[in-house]
Amino acid sequence: MNIFSFNSMVYSEKRACKFLLDFCWKNHQRFCPRCKCREFYRLTDGRRRCKRCLYSFHDFSRRFLNRGAFSCQQWLWFLKFFALEIPLASIATEMDISYATVLKAADTVRRAILAQALDAEKIYAAGIWPGPGNPLPDKKIFDVPVFGIIEVENMAICDLMPNLQAEHLLHYKLNFYLKTASVGQIVYTAPYRHYQALISCGPGLWPMPHIQHKDRRLPIEGTAFWSVTKRRFQQLRGISASHFALYLKEFELRYNAHGQDLFAILAQAMCAFVPRLVLEKRSSVD
């Protein structure tokens, strides 16, 4: 999207809202986000109430962009800056909002990106929080399950491998001489089966001082995807195990979206419903 079209879109809150609503409701046909019923009535505060389950909702209920207090204009500006990889501190300055608010918005965008991944359900099962409306994980993630990386015809695929854990990488390294290298706490390997590399993150990959991940010239180093992704991980200056999958899926999308309008892709992801992993009480309202 060129700058003139974007300026026209964010000229007013009404225009910005219309742009996002086009992603939310196909043919502008509303339905209850809880039970999908299309029969509802309006409340005095502008919301709608489902005639079947009595759930009260507005146009952005249960969607990722409902997290936080951003207006539609603010969300569009943030998504534009995010798509351009503007540093979060600079975004906070340009939008005149707190850095904590920007961090929360960036986290929401990354969770929206993850929700579109084919292996999203497996990643959630591994302990990654899907987003608002779901209970927070009972325990902190110590080590991230292993992902396999493969690049085919300029498309990168980062597959969660739920049957592999950090200890398996150490086992392959110590007993089968699988070569490994690292970026901070992130460890990546030489080829494994049909994957160009395995990758994981967390302190469990560094159990003893004498175990190091310093092998050089791994085949993955020569791929276009990893050369860009490695640099992005280095710029983060550290990453927690609980956020590793979010960043990996973000970088996967950025690479695969070359030649496409990343801003529109992000807007569409933000307008999607947040996955719900547990049954909610019938009285709950977003």
Tell me the pLDDT tens digit for each residue of 159-193. 999 899 989 999 999 999 999 999 988 999 999 99
> Which residue ranges make up each domain of the chain?
3-118, 128-260
**Integer Rg of the chain from CA:** 21
Predicted local distance difference test score (pLDDT) of residue 284: 42
Higher local confidence (pLDDT), 282 or 218: 218
Arithmetic mean of pLDDT, 227-249: 92
Give the pLDDT of residue 283. 39
pTM over 0.85: yes
**pLDDT score for 280:** 44
Name the phi and psi angles at 2, rounded to 5: -75, 165
232 has pLDDT over 80: yes
Q: Is-contact 157 150, C-beta < 8 A? A: yes
User: What stretches of 116-261 show up as alpha helix (H) in DSSP?
Assistant: 120-125, 166-176, 224-236, 241-256
Q: Report d(CA 262, CA 260) in Å as an integer.
A: 6
Return phi, psi of residue 59, to 5°: -60, -30
Three-class SS state of 141: coil
CA proximity to 145, closest of 172, 118, 125 = 125
The pLDDT value given to residue 2: 81
The helix (H) or strand (E) run that includes residue 198 is: strand 197-201
Band (240; pLDDT cuts 50, 70, 90):
confident
> What pLDDT is recorded for position 136?
86
What is the helix (H) or strand (E) element at residue 155, kind and residue range?
strand 155-161
Q: Which structure tokens are listed for 110? A: 């990354």
Quick one: CA torsion of 122, 243, 82, 71, rounded to 10 degrees? 80
Highest mean pLDDT (candidates 48-52, 144-148, 280-284): 48-52
